[in-house]
């Protein structure tokens, strides 16, 4: 092997040279140990890495992914330690988010003969991200396509939404190395670079999955169908350790993480409805109870009622992901829904709620905006709102509680296949 030798004492922060981890296959990425927040929503307790790779074949060199733009010097120094720009035949971008495409325009200026390979869905992003460089030549590829470097072959796997619509994986057939892009990555910066040498990164791996991949579980499962049959000697993601020791256990772990842990608790013939509420004087609580009773009258619906005053919101996310219908109740205070309801609604970006049934309700004093605001948020989460919400002015009467019962029953009937929709029920308007 050439390049920097891999040993227990490896420290890639001490130099700017490529690191060879299989015959003719090099890490040429960059370390970002001081990063503490990624994409705003993730904390990165010890930074991250931007992994880029170089593959040498008998008929040219391939560069797979680049780095964030302000880490370009480190990337180019490592690349130049092992290859000449004129030998670069292939550039693969598995994902065009700026942390991987930042050095692309300059790389293509230095290697103008190279052909860029991206997914079909990456083309619009290429134009949007690389203003002024949108005329870069490229070829789109998908599952079944490959490119030859002579004695080396790069196969492409169409794996969208891991983590953007454009993402793909690239497989080096002869070595059994999967250049996976964001998938199987984590924000964990360690100068020892390899999973058998770095510190304990299990938390980072799962945290990354929960925030980056979890909303796209279905797409993870689709990708695993392509990845699991491959002979895998190593997985080389774009962030965090290179998975060279027992790489398949990470594939297995992804399948476990993407498989529902709760589904066996509810009968497969039952639909799960969860009603969350907050109540300042007990009025919205009474509405919630009446709605729950109404919904519970429908066969095949399992109803759960949770007062958000009684707990933190994070533990509810698993339940919400598995639920078929979600109802949120909030009083209107100062023209708004109350904070615990917003806290819960704002924590749901990590799960896919598309198509789940939603409804809102609440008691109010004089303006009652909360119900419509919650509905807007649910629509923003791509939920289906079959029935406009129920509002009650101050203390619900017996008649209004009967209407809440009917409201719950109606939503539950929609859930089990009896459709129905209507406008806002507001007893103040009927008075």
For ligand FEO, which residue of 32, 74, 97, 413 counts as binding (CB under 6 A)?
97
Smallest distance from ligand FEO to CB 68, Å = 9
119 binds ligand FEO (CB under 6 A): no
Of 116 and 287, the one with the shorter C-beta distance to ligand FEO is 116
Distances (CA, A) of 131 to 100, 102, 119, 135: 16, 12, 19, 9
Q: Which of 306, 364, 379, 372 is nearest to 340 (CA)?
A: 306
The answer to whether the CB of 118 falls within 8 A of the CB of 141 is yes
Smallest distance from ligand FEO to CB 413, Å = 41
SS3 415: helix
182 binds ligand FEO (CB under 6 A): yes
**What single-letter DSSP state applies at residue 92?**
E
Smallest distance from ligand FEO to CB 241, Å = 15
The answer to whether the CB of 289 falls within 8 A of the CB of 329 is no
Smallest distance from ligand FEO to CB 44, Å = 11
400 binds ligand FEO (CB under 6 A): no
For ligand FEO, which residue of 95, 192, 217, 405 counts as binding (CB under 6 A)?
95
Interacting stretch for ligand FEO, rule CB under 6 A, among 21-29, 51-59, 96-104, 224-232?
96-104
Give the full edge-to-edge strand order of the sheet including 88-92. 19-22, 25-27, 53-57, 60-64, 88-92, 115-119, 138-141
**What single-letter DSSP state applies at residue 128?**
H
Maximum Cα interatomic distance, the chain, rounded to a whole number of Å: 84
166 binds ligand FEO (CB under 6 A): no
Of 24 and 241, the one with the shorter C-beta distance to ligand FEO is 241
65 binds ligand FEO (CB under 6 A): no
Q: Which of 249, 241, 253 is nearest to 197 (CA)?
A: 241
170 binds ligand FEO (CB under 6 A): no
Smallest distance from ligand FEO to CB 34, Å = 17
Of 182 and 400, the one with the shorter C-beta distance to ligand FEO is 182
For ligand FEO, which residue of 32, 82, 99, 166 counts as binding (CB under 6 A)?
99
Of 56 and 239, the one with the shorter C-beta distance to ligand FEO is 239
Distances (CA, A) of 125 to 120, 139, 167: 10, 14, 11
Give CA–CA dist 198/421, Å, rounded: 56
Smallest distance from ligand FEO to CB 39, Å = 7
Q: Which residues of 145-183 are buried (b: 16+ CB within 10 A; e: fewer)?
A: bebebeebebbbbbbbbbbbbbbbbbbbebbebbbbbbb
For ligand FEO, which residue of 217, 239, 286, 405 counts as binding (CB under 6 A)?
239
Interacting stretch for ligand FEO, rule CB under 6 A, among 92-100, 216-224, 244-252, 344-352?
92-100
What does the binding site for ligand FEO look like in residue numbers (CB under 6 A)?
A: 95, 97, 99-100, 163-164, 182, 238-239
């Amino acid at each position: 092997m050439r390049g920097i030798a891999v040993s227990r004492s490896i420290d890639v922060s001490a130099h700017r040279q490529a690191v060879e981890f299989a015959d003719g296959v090099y890490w040429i990425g960059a370390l970002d140990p001081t990063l503490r927040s990624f994409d705003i929503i993730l904390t990165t307790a010890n930074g991250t890495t931007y992994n880029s790779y170089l593959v040498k074949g008998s008929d040219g060199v391939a560069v797979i992914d680049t780095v964030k733009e302000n880490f370009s010097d480190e990337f180019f120094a490592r690349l130049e330690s092992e290859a000449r720009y004129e030998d670069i035949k292939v550039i693969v971008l598995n994902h065009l988010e700026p942390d991987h495409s930042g050095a692309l325009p300059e790389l293509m200026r230095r290697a103008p003969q190279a052909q860029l390979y991206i997914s079909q869905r990456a083309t619009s992003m290429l134009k949007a991200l690389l203003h002024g460089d949108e005329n870069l030549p490229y070829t789109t590829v998908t599952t079944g396509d490959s490119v030859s470097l002579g004695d080396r072959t790069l196969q492409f796997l169409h794996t969208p939404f891991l983590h953007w619509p454009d993402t793909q994986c690239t497989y080096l057939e002869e070595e059994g190395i999967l250049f996976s892009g964001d998938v199987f990555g984590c924000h964990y910066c360690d100068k020892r670079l390899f999973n058998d040498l770095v510190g304990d990164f299990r938390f980072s791996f799962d945290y990354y999955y929960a925030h980056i991949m979890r909303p796209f579980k279905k797409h993870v499962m689709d990708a695993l169908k392509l990845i699991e049959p491959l002979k895998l000697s190593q997985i080389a993601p774009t962030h965090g350790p290179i998975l060279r020791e027992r790489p398949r256990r990470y594939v297995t772990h992804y399948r476990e993480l993407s498989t529902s842990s709760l589904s066996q608790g509810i009968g497969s013939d039952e639909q799960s409805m969860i009603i969350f509420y907050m109540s300042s004087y007990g009025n919205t609580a009474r509405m919630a109870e009446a709605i729950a009773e109404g919904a519970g009258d429908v066969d095949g619906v399992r109803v759960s009622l949770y007062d958000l005053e009684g707990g933190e919101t994070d533990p509810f996310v698993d339940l919400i992901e598995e639920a078929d219908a979600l109802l949120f109740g909030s009083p209107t205070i100062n023209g708004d829904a109350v904070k615990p309801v917003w806290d819960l609604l704002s924590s749901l970006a990590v799960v896919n709620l598309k198509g789940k049934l939603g409804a809102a309700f609440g008691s109010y004093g004089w303006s009652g905006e909360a119900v419509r605001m919650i509905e807007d948020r649910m629509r923003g989460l791509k939920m289906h709102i079959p029935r406009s919400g129920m509002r009650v002015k101050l203390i619900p009467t017996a008649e209004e509680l009967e209407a809440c019962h009917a409201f719950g029953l109606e939503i539950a009937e929609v859930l089990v296949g009896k459709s129905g929709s209507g406008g806002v029920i507001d007893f103040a308007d009927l008075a």
